[in-house]
Structure 1
Amino acid sequence: MLERLIKLRRMPQPWGIRGLVDWASAIVRNAPIDQASYGARIAKEKDNFQDCINVHDLPPIFHYWSNKHLRPRLQDCGVESIEGFFGNRLAQAYDASPNDTRRFISIGAGNCELEVALAKQLIAQGKGSFRLECMELSTQMLQRGAKLAAEAGVANNLVPLEADFNSWRPTVQYDAVVCNQSLHHVLNLEGLFGSIKHCLRQDGPFIVFDIIGRNGHRRWPEALELVREFWSELPRNYRYNRLLSRQEETFLDWDCSIEGFEGIRAQDILPLLVQEFSFEFFFAFANIVDPFIDRSFGHNFDVAAEWDNAFIDRVHARDESEILAGRIKPTHMLAVLSKAPVQATICDRHLTPNFCIRRC
């Protein structure tokens, strides 16, 4: 059910943190952009995904954790599956639209697996009068998406759109906007959110599933301390980073944003969304459990081993208690936003958007 929770994170080589900070800060201030640096990052981003066919391949321990701990919470909030969540919201937008042909857009569509599934859902419900634009930077991913759409019989409903969402300027109005694990790749969040507000129909949903932790998918100090506390309990062979091919006796908290755009401004996503939109639905989860169940170290765990499962259960329990107490903040969110004011936000317990923002 939850294969789409975390996309493949690219693991870059060191690039120069001081230069990145100065460069990103200049862009946020709308100062002149270093085009050479930006071009290098664009090239790296394309290269990272050129041959990436399966972006949702996660270790078995992730599925143990998600099915035991995350799925019941999602169900309590009325979410049976991620695809179903997106599909239901698009179906509602379809019914609410006055247009004969509904227009949707998915920003950062990748290989278009989700988009093909959504198109099939809508058509199966008799809602076939729509166009779903699939915006993606990578030509190769769009080509794979077009092939997948043709094989699924939905090619007439999916429209490939090769574009850079950092500079995208929409020229038409959309009945709904979808962002599935793409916002944490965006440098110009302010510009993108402005474009979405400009092109989204007044009552249209902005549907988001993304990563909202610290930039580069690192832990903030208060969370890093807890990760290292549990890290000290791991047998040595569990501390081998399979993506970076190195032993980490101490958890090194790798910064994924030093090349390309992976997690480039992840920590700014939620505050800016709160500033620019209203939340109809908000579900936030997980923090310190992430490194133990993701691709770097998750494959070191054995779901058939009692100790492994019990360890993940304990990490999750500590994660939950610290998040609920507000001492650490969630790193993932599923949300539906609106341009129009919302009377009340559906959320999980007291984990509102404002509560989940880390205050410096």
Structure 2
Amino acid sequence: MIVPARLVHWLRPLARHLPESIRRPLRRWYRAHAPAAGVDDPAYLARLAEETSIFADQEDVHDLPPIFHYWSNRFLRPQLEAFGFSHPDAFFAHYLASAYADAQPARGHARFASLGCGNCDTEVRVAGLLVARGIEDFTIDCVDINEAMLARGRQLASEAGVSKQIVAAKGDFNDWRPAIRYDAIIANQSLHHVVNLEGLFAAIDAALRPEGRFVTSDMIGRNGHMRWPEAMEIVHEYWRELPRGYRWNVQLRRHEELLEYWDCSSSGFEGIRAQDILPLLLARFEFELFIGYGNLVDPFIDRSFGPHFDANAPWDRDFIDRVHARDEAEMLAGRITPTHMMAVMRRRPYDGPRLHRAGLPAHACVRPATA
């Protein structure tokens, strides 16, 4: 039996009020009976309208509270530096420079694409880093569904002096059909907005040159950016230590005595299929690099509760340090899996280097289906 999309669209608001113990089996049943999402599906079009509206006026989609930057500089940055870069922009620039070098002997000009680029702010900064290295003969085709954001991207590129390198074009990555082949394709925090992951990954595979790279930084935790039960149990241990004022959800404007489940994918495409990203990538590509990180610490440094923490206060810093240490121990023990990744993938066959954090290769970071 196939579930009509219009019926699902009508029932979804009612289902949000059901307890998680009922919603979970309902979601499993729906996935088994739902039709494949398509760009002409009414439910998809409704979500697309929501997504476009949400981001139309967001000039900074990566704004995070100071406590996030304390954590990332103290703990994440050293992990990245072990692989030759110190932050996400440098990560993308590092691997686009490698792709550029591979393109030089045969073609000279390198062609890159960025999928779900939003305001093109990352792409503009990465282009600037490449130009600063003396690499100028390249183009980044920036693809996004939101024309308002693309317009901001064109303005940013002009102001940064990289208009020659940045080409912003409207397109839906759920139905992406490139007409050319690329030396590298990047996706920065955009895959967790994709419904048709299978179609997109097939298109990327087909669009990459044989030596091309697929470079991404993204979320790979539970759909809707929720915690899996085994992680939520540990988060609640630390949650009980929080002062009452720290338990106010800034975004949802509600007090949470214990952190509650909130499915961000209930509107728009936020985290719509996050948990499927890594398994599907493993099924299609080979990993040149995989860096998995973060899980338990996420709720304490995000936009909902992170603003309560003082990045200069000893108790706050010590609390984050302790949660991070537990995070690392639980991931390395295999009891929880990372919710974030930075990865570089190659088309098959691939027999080059394979880099990852000790004890955390990509295949070990997929949550077992039996969990």
Normalised TM-score (structure 2): 0.89
- Choose from 253, 262, 266 the match for 1:258: 266
Following the alignment from structure 2 to structure 1, what is the Cα–Cα distance between the partners of residues 146 and 28?
Answer: 25
- Choose from 119, 124, 148 the match for 1:116: 124
C-alpha displacement at 1:26, in angstroms?
5.6
Deviations 1:296-343 (A, max 9, x none): 000011122211111111111111110000000000000110003234
- Choose from 113, 120, 135 the match for 1:127: 135
The letter for the 2-side match of 1:82 is: P
**1:290 counterpart residue number:** 298
Alpha-carbon distance change, 214 to 171 in structure 1, aligned in 2, over 3 angstroms: same
- Secondary structure of 1:160's match? strand
Structure 2 unaligned spans of 5+: 1-11, 17-22
C-alpha displacement at 1:158, in angstroms?
1.0
- Secondary structure of 2:268's match? coil
Following the alignment from structure 1 to structure 2, what is the Cα–Cα distance between the partners of residues 32 and 116?
Answer: 31
The letter for the 2-side match of 1:39 is: L
C-alpha displacement at 1:89, in angstroms?
0.9
Following the alignment from structure 1 to structure 2, what is the Cα–Cα distance between the partners of residues 318 and 194?
Answer: 37
**1:41 counterpart residue number:** 47
Aligned length: 347
**1:186 counterpart residue number:** 194
Alpha-carbon distance change, 231 to 316 in structure 1, aligned in 2, over 3 angstroms: same
Contact between 2:37 and 2:195, CA under 8 Å: does it hold in 1?
no
Following the alignment from structure 2 to structure 1, what is the Cα–Cα distance between the partners of residues 164 and 39?
Answer: 38
- Secondary structure of 1:191's match? helix
Identity %: 51
- Choose from 314, 317, 325 the match for 1:317: 325
The letter for the 1-side match of 2:291 is: F
Contact between 2:330 and 2:336, CA under 8 Å: does it hold in 1?
yes
Deviations 1:198-244 (A, max 9, x none): 01001111101000000000010100101111111111100000011
Following the alignment from structure 2 to structure 1, what is the Cα–Cα distance between the partners of residues 329 and 268?
Answer: 34
C-alpha displacement at 1:15, in angstroms?
7.0
C-alpha displacement at 1:74, in angstroms?
1.5
Following the alignment from structure 1 to structure 2, what is the Cα–Cα distance between the partners of residues 342 and 43?
Answer: 43
TM alignment of 1:223-238, pairs within 5 A: 223-238=231-246
Higher mean Cα deviation, 68-77 or 268-277?
68-77
Following the alignment from structure 1 to structure 2, what is the Cα–Cα distance between the partners of residues 128 and 21?
Answer: 49
- Secondary structure of 2:182's match? coil
The letter for the 1-side match of 2:288 is: E
**1:4 counterpart residue number:** none
Contact between 2:182 and 2:207, CA under 8 Å: does it hold in 1?
yes
- Secondary structure of 1:175's match? strand
Alpha-carbon distance change, 144 to 20 in structure 1, aligned in 2, over 3 angstroms: farther
Following the alignment from structure 1 to structure 2, what is the Cα–Cα distance between the partners of residues 134 and 15?
Answer: 38
TM alignment of 1:205-284, pairs within 5 A: 205-284=213-292
Structure 1 unaligned spans of 5+: 1-12
Contact between 1:280 and 1:342, CA under 8 Å: does it hold in 2?
no
- Secondary structure of 1:354's match? helix
- Choose from 53, 57, 77 the match for 2:59: 53
Following the alignment from structure 1 to structure 2, what is the Cα–Cα distance between the partners of residues 154 and 34?
Answer: 36
**1:348 counterpart residue number:** 357
Following the alignment from structure 2 to structure 1, what is the Cα–Cα distance between the partners of residues 284 and 297?
Answer: 30
Deviations 1:98-127 (A, max 9, x none): 223321100010111111112122222232
Contact between 1:59 and 1:299, CA under 8 Å: does it hold in 2?
yes
Following the alignment from structure 1 to structure 2, what is the Cα–Cα distance between the partners of residues 105 and 269?
Answer: 19
**1:5 counterpart residue number:** none
- Choose from 83, 88, 93 the match for 2:89: 83
Higher mean Cα deviation, 51-60 or 123-132?
123-132
Deviations 1:180-199 (A, max 9, x none): 00000001000000000001
Contact between 1:177 and 1:200, CA under 8 Å: does it hold in 2?
yes
**1:359 counterpart residue number:** 368
Contact between 1:14 and 1:259, CA under 8 Å: does it hold in 2?
no
Deviations 1:126-153 (A, max 9, x none): 3222211000111110000000001111
Residue 65 of structure 1 pairs with residue 71 of structure 2: yes
Q: Say what the alpha-carbon RMSD is for the aligned residues.
A: 1.9
TM alignment of 1:154-173, pairs within 5 A: 154-173=162-181
Following the alignment from structure 2 to structure 1, what is the Cα–Cα distance between the partners of residues 62 and 38?
Answer: 36
C-alpha displacement at 1:155, in angstroms?
1.0
**2:100 counterpart residue number:** 94
C-alpha displacement at 1:34, in angstroms?
7.2
Residue 177 of structure 1 pairs with residue 185 of structure 2: yes
C-alpha displacement at 1:94, in angstroms?
1.0
The letter for the 2-side match of 1:229 is: E
- Secondary structure of 1:86's match? helix
